[in-house]
């Protein structure tokens, strides 16, 4: 009985600490088509990460994880198959990129946000437009811990469908304590004969015909996937305080700034059949 009580106490404390370190917000967001999507935003101060998740109108489940410690953004898309077109299963895609900390509020600031009106439908204050990412490297999820330990957890189902870029690797190499050798061990080029141009090592040449430009359902091609984050806290707002005549007014935090951003990922697909939306 004593051991049971000790175990119960430990479990209770772990649950308590997790609940203290992790906060959740549920946000109703209106997308471009006028549909209302429910976003779940979680902040874990101990791990220094923020996770945002929502389901698109077409059923695609999108998860965005920001790893502030390692300057890494992971976007996972679980795309449902189109049974009427021969896709009986879903596919999981993971896109891992370097992240600038100024593009999102900190996990600590996020953990302190509270909702006064949870049922309100939100629209972002600033539209940051579309950003194109040409994913020119495969990412070996099982060897990715030196990029971010969260990749293996989030992208475990994306073996063979996880991607990053040479320019992101170059950014991560600059992190204190990072090893170029260990980072490069986690990635590999698209090396099939149909992709590599003879006599060149330029990864930009490794891309083949766009999926939208071929009618061969089994041919390898470059697929494009657009994913939009309709609402996220991209910064803090500061208001100007009142001075007393002798001292200058000092700004103070008075809210958050919210943004919308769309990502267009271009990446190698083994066959057009896995990229039916890009037509």
Task: Provide the pLDDT for residue 261.
Answer: 95
DSSP string, 207-249: --SBGGG---TTS-EEEEEEEEEEEEEEEEEEEEPPP-SSS--
Q: Which of 224, 217, 194 is nearest to 206 (CA)?
A: 194
**pLDDT single digits (tens) 196-222:** 333 334 444 445 789 999 999 999 999
**Using an 8 Å Cβ cutoff, are 92 and 119 in contact?**
no
Report, in angstroms and rounded to the nearest whole number, the Rg of the chain calculated over CA atoms: 22
| pLDDT for residue 169 is more than 90 | yes
Question: Residue 22, class by beta-carbon neighbours within 10 Å (0-12 exposed, 13-18 middle, 19+ buried)?
Answer: middle
**pLDDT single digits (tens) 10-19:** 333 344 434 4
The band of 243, judged by pLDDT with boundaries at 50, 70 and 90, is low
Q: Phi and psi (nearest 5°) for 9?
A: -60, -45
| pLDDT for residue 88 is more than 50 | yes
Task: Provide the pLDDT for residue 9.
Answer: 41
| pLDDT for residue 246 is more than 70 | no
pTM over 0.75: yes
**pLDDT single digits (tens) 127-154:** 999 999 999 999 999 999 999 999 999 9
User: Rounded mean pLDDT of the chain?
Assistant: 83
Mean pLDDT of 7-27: 52
């Amino acid at each position: 009985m004593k051991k049971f009580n000790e175990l119960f106490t430990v479990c209770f404390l772990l649950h308590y600490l997790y609940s203290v370190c992790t906060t959740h917000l549920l946000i109703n967001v209106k997308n471009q088509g006028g549909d209302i999507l429910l976003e779940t935003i979680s902040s874990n101060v101990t791990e220094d990460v923020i996770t945002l998740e929502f389901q698109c109108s077409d059923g695609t489940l999108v998860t965005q994880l920001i790893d502030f410690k390692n300057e890494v953004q992971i976007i996972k898309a679980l795309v449902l198959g189109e049974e009427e077109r021969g896709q009986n299963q879903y596919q999981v895609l993971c896109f891992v990129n370097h992240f600038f900390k100024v593009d999102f509020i900190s996990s600590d600031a996020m953990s302190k946000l509270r909702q006064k009106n949870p049922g309100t439908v939100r629209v972002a204050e600033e539209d940051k437009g579309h950003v194109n990412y040409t994913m020119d490297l495969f990412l070996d999820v099982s060897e990715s811990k030196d990029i971010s330990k969260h990749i293996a957890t989030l992208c475990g189902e994306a073996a063979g469908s996880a991607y990053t870029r040479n320019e992101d690797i170059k950014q991560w190499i600059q992190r204190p304590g990072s090893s170029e050798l260990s980072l490069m061990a986690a990635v590999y080029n698209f090396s099939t004969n149909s992709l590599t141009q003879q006599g060149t090592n330029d990864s930009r040449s490794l891309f083949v015909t766009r999926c939208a430009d071929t009618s061969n359902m089994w041919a390898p091609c470059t697929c494009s996937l657009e994913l939009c984050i309709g609402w996220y806290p991209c910064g803090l707002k500061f208001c100007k305080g009142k001075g007393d005549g002798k001292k200058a007014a000092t700004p103070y935090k008075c809210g958050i700034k919210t943004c919308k951003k769309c990502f267009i990922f271009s990446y190698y697909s083994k066959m057009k059949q896995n990229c039916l939306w890009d037509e």
